[in-house]
Amino acid sequence: MRHIEYEVSRQVQVIGICGASYIRPYFSGAQYDERILVRVLVTGVNGFVGQWLSRDLAAHRENGESLEVIGLGRKRPKSSDMVFFDRFVEADLGDEAVLLTPLLDGIDIVIHLASRVHVMRDRAADPLESYRRVNRDGSRRLADAAARAGVRRFIFMSSIKVNGERTTSIPYTEEDEPNPADPYGVSKLEAEKEIQQAAKGSKMCVVIFRPPLVYGPRVRANFRSLLTVVRKRIPLPLGSICNRRHFIFVGNLCDAILKVVFGNNVKPGVYIVSDRESVATPELVRMVAHFLNGESPRMFGFPVGILRAGANLCGLAPQVSRLTDSLEVDCSRFVKEFGWVPPFSTSEGIKLTCDDLLRNSP
């Protein structure tokens, strides 16, 4: 399978989701002149995070950063999104016939977001193998080619599911023994190891992010379902849940990625990132109801044990566990090493997410 490249003509102003300003890009161990162009390749640009990160990179470019943004995806973005890229490459990373090394010639930074995303009810005959083909094998091919091409920095989007599914009293940290519980988490852990192995013996610095659930404008899947249910004022039996969960607003995640893109003396490592505060499920529902409907939610207390038992009988145990279990993380390592302060609070992120839903849904 051959790849297709598109040159892009830009004639509109680009506004990203992150409003912070950043230093000019330099690389660890080298002092580049600020006028030298830095080429950034982003995979998975049609995905949720990829769409917003592409906007932010383009906004920095339009504001004077010496950046060239190259997008890579399995299909061409819609015309209005092509403006975010200087060049777009249509290619499937899972296709072994695609020659990746020529695509990476002259690239300084790779931001690898493309993956087979987690789904609650996977209908693949062999889900683990399906995840491995894209998340592990495709990532290894890209990392091998990047190391050969002389890429300086490789940013990989992993998942907190590498650590596990739930916490009790102690938040997850980067030092914890990985304990993935499903094929998606297993494939992400294997991808981390493969990418780190590919970088050995090269000058490529690998930075791995493990975020919890990402939400924001245009969010889909389970978070979008929760928004829809609350907006319709459907009564929810969630009032008795006592848990704490960390999430990350897409603007905060993009901000963290840009800290690595534009950082000085970046060292390889694994980093957990999240919003500043964790929230209980009833608290989250109240925020959503306030921003969507301007009122308290229709939520009532119900024994959590019976809720879980009913979910097991209905085949909804994974969905309900994400509402009832705790999942807290400690992102202090990234905060300390990069001086990172998430620019959006959880309340601000939820409001922006709800505002987008109100604008774009009937």
Instruction: Give every CB contact of residue 56 below 8 A, 6+ residues apart in sequence.
Output: 16, 17, 18, 254, 258
Alpha carbons 258 and 251: distance in angstroms, whole number: 11
C-alpha to C-alpha distances, 39 to 35, 61, 103, 289, 331, nearest whole angstrom? 12, 11, 12, 43, 28
Given the residues 26, 172, 184, 215, select the one marked as catalytic: 184
Instruction: Give every CB contact of residue 281 below 8 A, 6+ residues apart in sequence.
Output: 238, 241, 243, 245, 323, 324
Alpha carbons 274 and 116: distance in angstroms, whole number: 22
184 belongs to the catalytic site: yes
For the CA atoms of 17, 61, 262, 29, the dihedral, rounded to the nearest 10 degrees, stands at 170
User: Which residue, 94, 49, 72, is CA-closest to 249?
Assistant: 49
User: Which residue, 209, 220, 330, is CA-closest to 258?
Assistant: 209
| Residue tagged 């990402």 (tokens) | 214
Point out the residues that are catalytic.
184
